[in-house]
Amino acid sequence: MTTHDTILKKIGLASFIMMASVFASRVIGVFREMAIAGIGGVKAGVDAYQISFIIPEILNHIVASGFLSITFIPIFSHYLSSGRKEEGYRVFSIILNSFGSLLLCFILITMIWAGPFVHAFAPGIKDPQTFALAVKMTRIIIPAQFFFFCGGLLMAVQFAHEKFFIPALAPLIYNLSIILCGLFLAPVMGMEGFAWGVLAGAFLGNFAIQLLGTKKIDIRYSLTFGFNHPDLMRYIKLTLPLMLGLTMTFSTEILLKFFGSWLSEGSIAAMNYALRIMFILVGLFGQAVGVASYPFMATMAGQGKLSELNHILNSTLKYIFLVIPFSVLFMVISREIIVLLFQRGRFDAQATMVTAAILPFFMIGAFGFSAQTIVSRGYYALQNTLFPALFSSLCVVLSFPLIYFLMTLMGPRGIALGLSVSVIVQAFVLYECWNKKSGNSEKKGVYLFFLKIIPVSLFMGILLFLSVFALRKIFDSMTFHGALMIAGISGIEFVILFFLAGKILKINEILVLYEKILQRPLPWIKKLP
């Protein structure tokens, strides 16, 4: 077996672990949203809960906690591959201590001035009770960012050692903690119970269990500060653009709440429910593969093997485009999905219709969010964080007028559409810039595959729409039983149509996906052309 095949096999196994984690996390995440919907419905309390995440998410972004694996792995992997493990752990300790101290200062500041910060980022909230609840829950959630930061470094160390299982448990424990705390505490303190679940989940899933995981690889920590260490300077140089830059995935959460604060009560809650459903597909097709493949992409980039890096990138993008037909299915049965997942407790039929009307406009951008995740990692593997950060920030700023215009025209549906259009444009332009930079000779095949999958998806969508239209004459789609029957029959039809499309049109990616699902979900990447 060649080195290339060995790397692809490892990526496939790592991808399976991460995909299983993301799938389980998304399923549990759906149960989390179901619990929130049942207790809070589409009301002001859920709006306040969603707003309370704005400042913590910005704080997390400022210290680049979400990018620790991207920026730290290449530095740490270099020490491991060169046999200088002790120095690698010294750099780990320096980064943890210096940035951890900075984060603690930020946490203290934001907790003191939480009120003005919330008002700045959700200026449309006029109800004093909603505002007060948002500020209170913000102060509960903010300290969780310290555990996310420490856990991010601990997980990066495990990724560099090609250990994926313990990090894969983090989102599962996090979501379970939110659900359990919410269900047990909500009868006493309402939506605030879910906020305490966030803090508990961050500590248990992203810190405590990760600390146990790193002990298995004999991690070394020292209370040392070396602000003049060259690799700390290098880390800051790589991370600073990510701290200051605005990614579309990060900005979506902020913009949704910023613009949504000007709309009617419950608009933020309804958009968030729809967004979470869209992120199920993004997580399965984009996040899992991106996280699993990145350490290997960084290794190939470090060795100057751009052709192999391009091969992985192009093959993965083709797989990512399979999100499109799944998105069409979600659009067609959006009403049934909302009924099955959320219509219970305080989430009534009217809330279902509002949320179901928003979901299709988010589904338009599902493949864009997934593709952008993969393409960005190509730049990060080459340790180029500046260009994607500047480019993404520019795209976010340029999207403001579009989102505002569509919001005034279509309400929450317009916000969803504006965000989707923005991320699609960003993904394609970023990919084309990558092609010019890397000399990607296989890009034509990626574009041809995209042009092939679009009409296939539209044709499948028309057939499914006609079928669902007829089924709604037979079953009541606003009841759980009726929605289940319609969604089940439509799902079976989709599976058959999707397979026939792959077979008749000889779309190898579809056939490989079916083969691995039916046989064994192991390294599918090595089968991609």
Per-residue pLDDT of the chain (529 residues; tens, 9 = 90+): 454 455 445 555 555 555 566 667 777 888 888 899 989 888 888 999 999 998 888 877 766 555 565 667 777 777 776 777 777 788 888 888 888 888 899 899 999 999 999 999 899 888 899 999 999 999 999 999 999 988 888 887 887 776 777 888 888 899 999 999 999 998 888 899 999 999 999 999 989 998 888 877 777 777 877 767 777 777 777 777 766 665 666 788 889 999 999 998 889 999 999 998 998 888 776 666 666 666 667 777 767 778 888 887 888 888 889 899 999 999 999 999 999 999 988 899 999 999 999 999 999 999 999 888 888 888 877 877 778 878 888 888 899 999 999 999 999 999 999 999 999 999 999 999 999 888 888 889 899 999 999 999 999 999 999 999 999 999 999 999 999 999 999 999 999 999 999 889 888 878 877 776 665 443 434 444 4
**Burial level of 52, CB count in 10 A (0-12/13-18/19+)?**
buried
C-alpha to C-alpha distance for 145 and 59, rounded to whole angstroms? 7
> CA–CA separation, 401 vs 398, rounded Å?
7
- Looking at residue 479, its pLDDT comes to 95
List alpha helices for 63-164, DSSP H: 68-81, 85-112, 114-121, 128-141, 144-160
Report d(CA 126, CA 124) in Å as an integer.
6
- pLDDT tens digits for range 151-199: 888 887 887 776 777 888 888 899 999 999 999 998 888 899 999 999 9
pLDDT at site 521 = 42
**Quick count: other Cβ atoms within 10 Å of Cβ 96?**
21
- In whole angstroms, what is the distance from residue 54 CA to residue 323 CA? 28
Dist CA 431 CA 307 (whole Å): 15
Number of helices (H) and strands (E), helices first, in the chain?
Answer: 25, 0
Give the Cα separation of 187 and 195 in Å (integer).
Answer: 14
Say which DSSP state 436 is in. H
In angstroms, the CA 369 to CA 1 distance is 35
Determine the pLDDT at residue 415: 96
Question: What six digits make up the tokens of 432?
Answer: 């084309």
* Total count of residues recorded for the chain: 529
In angstroms, rounded to a whole number, what is the distance separating the alpha carbons of residues 382 and 314?
16
- Write the CA distances from 350 to 43, 217, 344, 472, integer angstroms: 12, 53, 12, 18
Determine the Cα–Cα distance for residues 398 and 400; give it in Å rounded to an integer: 6
DSSP assignment of 9-53:
HHHHHHHHHHHHHHHHHHHHHHHHHHHHHHHH-SSHHHHHHHHTT
Q: How far is CA 186 from the centre of its chain?
A: 27
Tell me, what amino acid is at 310?
N
For 511, other C-beta atoms within 10 Å of its C-beta total 14
Q: What is the pLDDT of residue 525?
A: 40
Q: Is 333 helix (H, G, I), strand (E, B) or coil?
A: coil
Please state, in angstroms and as integers, the Cα–Cα distance from residue 206 to each residue in 153, 176, 235, 394, 464, following that order: 10, 13, 22, 31, 41
What pLDDT is attached to residue 483?
A: 96
Encoded amino acid at 106, one letter = F
pLDDT of residue 353: 95
Place of tokens 């146990």: 212
Task: Quote the CA–CA distance of 338 and 324 in Å, as a whole number.
Answer: 20
Instruction: Render pLDDT for 122-140 as a digit per residue (tens, 0 to 9).
Output: 998 888 999 999 999 999 9
Q: What are the Cα distances from residue 76, in Å, to 6, 67, 98, 149, 528?
A: 22, 14, 17, 17, 30
Question: What does the alpha-carbon distance between residue 108 and residue 450 come to, in Å, rounded to a whole number?
Answer: 48
Q: Any idea which residue has 């605005």 for tokens?
A: 246
C-alpha–C-alpha distance, residues 432 and 135, integer Å: 42
pLDDT at 488: 96
SS3 assignment, position 198 = helix
| SS3 at position 322 | coil
Instruction: Compute the distance between CA of residue 138 and CA of residue 449 in angstroms, rounded to an integer.
Output: 44
